[in-house]
Amino acid sequence: MDLVRPDVDAYATEHTTPPPGWLDRVHAEAVADLPYASMLSGPVVGRLLQTLVAVTQARLVVEVGTYAGYSALAMAQGLPPGGRVVTLELDEGHADFAQRQFDASPVGDRIELVRGPALESLERLDGPYDLVFIDADKVGYPDYYEAALAKLAPHGLIVADNTLRDGNVLDPRTDADRTIAALNRAWATDERVVATQLTVRDGLTLIRRA
Ligand SMILES: C[S@@+](CC[C@H](N)C(=O)[O-])C[C@H]1O[C@@H](n2cnc3c(N)ncnc32)[C@H](O)[C@@H]1O
Protein backbone atom coordinates (compact mmCIF):
# COMPACT_ATOMS: atom_id res chain seq x y z
CA MET A 1 0.00 0.00 0.00
CA ASP A 2 1.31 3.47 -0.89
CA LEU A 3 0.67 5.94 1.92
CA VAL A 4 1.52 8.78 -0.43
CA ARG A 5 0.31 8.68 -4.06
CA PRO A 6 3.26 7.52 -6.21
CA ASP A 7 3.04 10.62 -8.44
CA VAL A 8 3.04 12.89 -5.38
CA ASP A 9 5.96 10.92 -3.93
CA ALA A 10 7.87 11.36 -7.19
CA TYR A 11 7.04 15.10 -7.11
CA ALA A 12 8.45 15.35 -3.55
CA THR A 13 11.67 13.64 -4.68
CA GLU A 14 11.96 15.95 -7.71
CA HIS A 15 11.56 18.99 -5.48
CA THR A 16 14.16 17.93 -2.92
CA THR A 17 17.82 18.90 -3.38
CA PRO A 18 19.29 15.83 -5.09
CA PRO A 19 21.85 13.74 -3.21
CA PRO A 20 25.47 13.99 -4.35
CA GLY A 21 26.45 11.49 -7.05
CA TRP A 22 28.44 9.32 -4.64
CA LEU A 23 25.39 8.87 -2.38
CA ASP A 24 23.20 8.06 -5.37
CA ARG A 25 25.72 5.35 -6.23
CA VAL A 26 25.44 3.87 -2.70
CA HIS A 27 21.68 3.66 -3.25
CA ALA A 28 22.10 2.03 -6.68
CA GLU A 29 24.66 -0.50 -5.42
CA ALA A 30 22.47 -1.39 -2.43
CA VAL A 31 19.48 -2.00 -4.70
CA ALA A 32 21.66 -4.19 -6.94
CA ASP A 33 23.57 -6.12 -4.25
CA LEU A 34 21.37 -6.29 -1.13
CA PRO A 35 17.99 -7.98 -0.82
CA TYR A 36 15.73 -5.34 0.75
CA ALA A 37 15.58 -2.13 -1.31
CA SER A 38 12.61 -0.91 0.78
CA MET A 39 14.92 -0.69 3.82
CA LEU A 40 16.83 2.22 2.25
CA SER A 41 15.84 5.66 3.49
CA GLY A 42 16.02 7.24 0.03
CA PRO A 43 16.64 10.80 -1.08
CA VAL A 44 13.82 12.66 0.73
CA VAL A 45 14.29 11.06 4.16
CA GLY A 46 18.06 11.28 3.62
CA ARG A 47 17.84 15.05 3.11
CA LEU A 48 15.47 15.39 6.07
CA LEU A 49 17.89 13.51 8.35
CA GLN A 50 20.83 15.59 7.09
CA THR A 51 18.85 18.78 7.77
CA LEU A 52 17.86 17.67 11.29
CA VAL A 53 21.52 16.95 12.08
CA ALA A 54 22.58 20.31 10.64
CA VAL A 55 19.96 22.49 12.37
CA THR A 56 20.47 20.77 15.74
CA GLN A 57 24.27 21.01 15.27
CA ALA A 58 24.38 17.42 16.53
CA ARG A 59 27.91 16.37 17.48
CA LEU A 60 27.04 12.77 18.41
CA VAL A 61 24.49 11.00 16.21
CA VAL A 62 23.58 7.39 16.99
CA GLU A 63 21.86 5.24 14.40
CA VAL A 64 20.14 1.97 15.33
CA GLY A 65 20.17 -0.13 12.13
CA THR A 66 22.78 0.63 9.42
CA TYR A 67 21.79 -1.64 6.50
CA ALA A 68 23.65 -0.22 3.45
CA GLY A 69 24.90 2.87 5.27
CA TYR A 70 22.75 5.24 3.19
CA SER A 71 21.16 7.12 6.11
CA ALA A 72 24.43 7.19 8.09
CA LEU A 73 26.14 8.82 5.11
CA ALA A 74 23.23 11.22 4.64
CA MET A 75 23.45 12.29 8.29
CA ALA A 76 27.26 12.51 8.25
CA GLN A 77 26.94 15.24 5.60
CA GLY A 78 25.13 17.47 8.11
CA LEU A 79 27.61 17.14 10.99
CA PRO A 80 29.54 20.15 12.33
CA PRO A 81 33.35 19.88 12.40
CA GLY A 82 34.37 17.15 14.86
CA GLY A 83 30.92 15.56 14.84
CA ARG A 84 30.41 11.81 14.36
CA VAL A 85 27.81 9.20 13.56
CA VAL A 86 27.93 5.90 15.45
CA THR A 87 25.85 3.35 13.58
CA LEU A 88 24.83 -0.02 15.05
CA GLU A 89 24.32 -3.15 12.95
CA LEU A 90 23.74 -6.81 13.79
CA ASP A 91 23.98 -8.40 10.33
CA GLU A 92 27.59 -9.01 9.22
CA GLY A 93 26.74 -8.85 5.50
CA HIS A 94 25.01 -5.50 5.88
CA ALA A 95 27.86 -4.22 8.05
CA ASP A 96 30.50 -5.33 5.51
CA PHE A 97 28.61 -3.62 2.66
CA ALA A 98 28.17 -0.41 4.67
CA GLN A 99 31.81 -0.30 5.78
CA ARG A 100 32.93 -0.55 2.14
CA GLN A 101 30.64 2.39 1.32
CA PHE A 102 31.98 4.43 4.26
CA ASP A 103 35.58 3.73 3.21
CA ALA A 104 34.83 4.94 -0.33
CA SER A 105 32.87 8.08 0.60
CA PRO A 106 34.09 11.63 1.31
CA VAL A 107 32.37 11.67 4.75
CA GLY A 108 32.98 8.05 5.81
CA ASP A 109 35.71 9.06 8.28
CA ARG A 110 32.98 10.68 10.40
CA ILE A 111 31.19 7.33 10.83
CA GLU A 112 31.95 4.53 13.29
CA LEU A 113 30.23 1.22 12.62
CA VAL A 114 29.59 -0.91 15.71
CA ARG A 115 28.69 -4.54 15.03
CA GLY A 116 26.42 -6.61 17.27
CA PRO A 117 22.97 -6.37 18.88
CA ALA A 118 22.05 -2.68 19.02
CA LEU A 119 20.67 -2.75 22.56
CA GLU A 120 23.95 -4.07 23.97
CA SER A 121 25.87 -1.43 22.00
CA LEU A 122 23.57 1.32 23.31
CA GLU A 123 24.19 0.13 26.86
CA ARG A 124 27.97 0.39 26.33
CA LEU A 125 28.00 3.67 24.39
CA ASP A 126 28.62 6.93 26.29
CA GLY A 127 26.16 9.80 25.88
CA PRO A 128 24.93 12.40 25.65
CA TYR A 129 23.35 11.65 22.29
CA ASP A 130 22.36 14.71 20.28
CA LEU A 131 20.33 12.81 17.71
CA VAL A 132 19.26 9.16 17.62
CA PHE A 133 17.79 7.59 14.48
CA ILE A 134 15.92 4.36 15.33
CA ASP A 135 15.52 2.17 12.25
CA ALA A 136 16.10 -1.51 13.15
CA ASP A 137 13.84 -4.44 14.16
CA LYS A 138 10.43 -3.05 15.09
CA VAL A 139 9.83 -5.21 18.18
CA GLY A 140 13.03 -3.77 19.60
CA TYR A 141 11.83 -0.15 19.30
CA PRO A 142 10.51 0.17 22.91
CA ASP A 143 13.92 -0.86 24.29
CA TYR A 144 15.83 1.32 21.81
CA TYR A 145 13.62 4.27 22.74
CA GLU A 146 14.19 3.89 26.49
CA ALA A 147 17.93 3.37 25.99
CA ALA A 148 18.13 6.43 23.73
CA LEU A 149 16.07 8.63 26.05
CA ALA A 150 18.22 7.69 29.05
CA LYS A 151 21.31 9.19 27.35
CA LEU A 152 19.62 11.90 25.27
CA ALA A 153 21.14 15.39 25.55
CA PRO A 154 18.82 18.07 27.02
CA HIS A 155 18.14 19.44 23.52
CA GLY A 156 18.50 16.08 21.82
CA LEU A 157 16.17 14.57 19.25
CA ILE A 158 15.03 11.00 18.64
CA VAL A 159 13.81 10.15 15.14
CA ALA A 160 11.95 6.85 14.74
CA ASP A 161 11.34 5.42 11.26
CA ASN A 162 8.47 3.28 9.90
CA THR A 163 6.06 4.42 12.57
CA LEU A 164 3.07 4.10 10.22
CA ARG A 165 3.96 0.56 9.06
CA ASP A 166 2.38 1.07 5.62
CA GLY A 167 -0.79 2.20 7.43
CA ASN A 168 -1.01 -1.08 9.37
CA VAL A 169 -0.85 0.72 12.71
CA LEU A 170 -4.55 1.45 12.16
CA ASP A 171 -5.32 -2.28 12.11
CA PRO A 172 -2.25 -4.09 13.45
CA ARG A 173 -1.86 -7.74 12.42
CA THR A 174 1.76 -8.61 13.25
CA ASP A 175 3.86 -8.30 16.40
CA ALA A 176 5.82 -5.53 14.69
CA ASP A 177 2.61 -3.61 13.83
CA ARG A 178 1.27 -4.07 17.38
CA THR A 179 4.55 -2.94 18.95
CA ILE A 180 4.71 0.24 16.86
CA ALA A 181 0.99 1.02 17.32
CA ALA A 182 1.38 0.70 21.12
CA LEU A 183 4.52 2.81 21.07
CA ASN A 184 2.82 5.53 19.00
CA ARG A 185 0.05 5.67 21.62
CA ALA A 186 2.59 5.76 24.46
CA TRP A 187 4.64 8.56 22.85
CA ALA A 188 1.59 10.77 22.41
CA THR A 189 0.97 10.73 26.18
CA ASP A 190 4.50 10.23 27.57
CA GLU A 191 4.96 13.28 29.78
CA ARG A 192 8.75 13.05 29.49
CA VAL A 193 8.66 13.95 25.79
CA VAL A 194 6.96 15.88 23.00
CA ALA A 195 6.28 13.66 19.98
CA THR A 196 5.29 14.58 16.43
CA GLN A 197 4.08 11.89 14.05
CA LEU A 198 5.00 12.82 10.48
CA THR A 199 3.40 11.18 7.45
CA VAL A 200 6.64 11.37 5.46
CA ARG A 201 7.24 8.13 3.53
CA ASP A 202 6.45 5.23 5.94
CA GLY A 203 6.02 7.53 8.95
CA LEU A 204 8.72 9.27 10.94
CA THR A 205 8.20 10.31 14.56
CA LEU A 206 10.23 13.16 16.03
CA ILE A 207 10.64 13.03 19.82
CA ARG A 208 12.28 15.60 22.07
CA ARG A 209 12.39 16.08 25.82
CA ALA A 210 9.38 17.94 27.27
C1 LIG B 1 15.61 -0.64 7.89
S2 LIG B 1 17.25 -1.24 7.90
C3 LIG B 1 18.20 0.24 8.22
C4 LIG B 1 18.19 1.19 7.06
C5 LIG B 1 19.11 2.37 7.17
N6 LIG B 1 18.96 3.04 8.44
C7 LIG B 1 18.80 3.35 6.06
O8 LIG B 1 17.87 4.15 6.26
O9 LIG B 1 19.43 3.33 5.00
C10 LIG B 1 17.34 -2.08 9.45
C11 LIG B 1 18.70 -2.66 9.79
O12 LIG B 1 18.68 -3.02 11.18
C13 LIG B 1 19.43 -4.20 11.34
N14 LIG B 1 19.03 -4.84 12.61
C15 LIG B 1 17.95 -5.60 12.86
N16 LIG B 1 17.92 -5.99 14.13
C17 LIG B 1 19.01 -5.46 14.73
C18 LIG B 1 19.55 -5.50 16.05
N19 LIG B 1 18.94 -6.17 17.03
N20 LIG B 1 20.69 -4.82 16.30
C21 LIG B 1 21.30 -4.12 15.30
N22 LIG B 1 20.84 -4.05 14.04
C23 LIG B 1 19.72 -4.71 13.75
C24 LIG B 1 19.11 -5.02 10.10
O25 LIG B 1 20.10 -6.00 9.86
C26 LIG B 1 19.07 -3.92 9.02
O27 LIG B 1 20.33 -3.78 8.41
The backbone region for 131, taken as left when phi is positive above 0, alpha when psi lies in -120 to 50, beta otherwise, is beta
CA 204, 61, 79, 113 dihedral sign is: negative
When pLDDT is averaged across residues 97-110 and rounded to a whole number, the result is 97
Mean pLDDT of the chain, nearest integer: 96
The total domain count for the chain is: 1
C-beta 117 within 6 A of ligand 1: yes
Nearest CA to ligand 1 atom 27: 67
Q: Does some domain include residue 1?
A: no
CA of 137 to the centre of ligand 1 (A): 6
Neighbours of 4 (CB within 10 A): 15
pLDDT tens, 20-53? 999 999 999 999 999 998 899 999 999 999 999 9
Q: CATH number, domain at 94?
A: 3.40.50.150
Percent of the chain whose predicted confidence (pLDDT) is above 90: 96
Pairwise CA distance, residues 130 & 154, whole Å: 8
What pLDDT score was predicted for residue 4?
85
C-beta 98 within 6 A of ligand 1: no
pLDDT band of residue 89 (cuts 50, 70, 90) is very high
What pLDDT score was predicted for residue 1?
61
When pLDDT is averaged across residues 196-208 and rounded to a whole number, the result is 96
Q: Are strands 129-134 and 193-198 parallel, antiparallel or unpaired?
A: unpaired
Nearest CA to ligand 1 atom 16: 137
Nearest CA to ligand 1 atom 11: 65
Could you tell me where the DSSP H helices lie in 84-131?
A: 92-104, 118-124
pLDDT tens, 170-201? 999 999 999 999 999 999 999 999 999 999 99
C-beta 136 within 6 A of ligand 1: yes
Q: Does some domain include residue 170?
A: yes
When pLDDT is averaged across residues 54-64 and rounded to a whole number, the result is 98
CA of 69 to the centre of ligand 1 (A): 10
Domain limits for position 70: 6-209
CA of 121 to the centre of ligand 1 (A): 13
At residue 165, the 3 state secondary structure works out as helix
Q: Does some domain include residue 104?
A: yes
Percent of the chain whose predicted confidence (pLDDT) is above 70: 100
